[in-house]
Amino acid sequence: MAAASSLHVAAPAATPRVGSIAHKSASAARSVRAVRSGVAARSGGRLVGCAAVATKADAPASDAASKSSGHEVLLYEALREGLMEEMESDPTVCVFGEDVGHYGGSYKVTKGLADKYGDLRVLDTPIAENSFTGMGVGAGMKGLRPIVEGMNMGFLLLAYNQISNNCGMLHYTSGGQFKIPLVIRGPGGVGRQLGAEHSQRLESYFQSIPGLQMVACSTPYNAKGLMKAAIRSDNPVVLFEHVLLYNLKEKIPDEEYVCCLEEAEMVRPGEHVTILTYSRMRYHVMQAAKTLVNKGYDPEVIDIRSLKPFDLHTIGNSIKKTHRVLIVEECMRTGGIGASLRSAIIDNFWDYLDAPIMCLSSQDVPTPYAAPLEDATVVQPAQIVAAVEQICQ
């Protein structure tokens, strides 16, 4: 994909599209391609499915495609499925973290894995994020494919040195002698009265680290597909999971699939304005979209999913059609993902814009414990409706 600068360029290029799979919607077939050239080789040439385009009925991306076959899972169960499939097929995949073993993880993503694969592959660690994240980096250097779980993403600030100076840079500073196929994952975002320290959104902290990829899952379908792709990647990948999305239920295919790490998902095609969002805000945007349609607007909704690098190909094609952009995020406004995305759009698609880019973000304050105040710090559907009306005047 085309990219504006080194900030938005992935280290290895994705391979070309190679075909299609049986998992198709009524309106558009899912495209298929390999996430990496190395992935196809490691996985025996298995095809890698990318995001589908939903119909204007505001259905989730994979609903229409999976009514005839598949099985229903919750998002945390989809993550576990992806993890188990990769552990089954690759003995180098292992998991480190607090309570990931026989307790099953704080949100049960690793439940049952210790019984099946043993304590050495599913390793309970002390409460020492810097230590076990550093251990994950070392394991990756020696040929393993570790998954490091943060019990809460806010705790991973204790491991910022290991994430930044080690896993993000060692491939470069070693002159290519080492690769760091490390996945860092865990719950984050504003939950329900979890307080300031447990409501962190660390996307903005990690986005400037060279050599690090970032993705955010939002449905059971893409949670499983992104988990599998992240494990197979030779790059260090941070997988952001939102604490309020773990109990989302969706039917996913029985057959194996993998989502592309660098591709956005077209959630709802439209003509009047491009709304770019990710994670939990996808659902606030879709709620607002129903109101906007009733008012005569036709918004195009894109779940960017890949927070670094941005899928500027998908984003650019949408902007060339609608000429208006609204970014909706739960990240902080100052230095957030929205700020970087707005900069990339201005650099690449300025001539196609008919209105200033608007960005709705969380307020730059610690997240309050009180529920009404907590809601006031996060973007709500009514604000999205008002912003679209202003852009389309």
Q: Active-site positions?
A: 129, 198
3-state secondary structure of 164: helix
Taking residue 302's Cβ as centre, other Cβ atoms within 10 Å add up to: 26
Helices (H), the chain: 37-42, 75-89, 113-117, 129-141, 160-161, 170-173, 203-206, 220-232, 281-294, 312-322, 337-349, 371-377, 381-391
Sole residue written with tokens 């970014």: 327
Rounded Cα distance between 257 and 260, Å, is 10
Phi, psi of 150 (to 5 degrees): -90, 125
Residue 162 DSSP code: I
Rounded Cα distance between 65 and 108, Å, is 27
Q: Which residues pair with 250 in a beta bridge?
A: 73
Q: From the centroid of its chain, how far is CA 237?
A: 10
Q: Which residues pair with 138 in a beta bridge?
A: none
Residue 193 DSSP code: S
3-state secondary structure of 366: coil
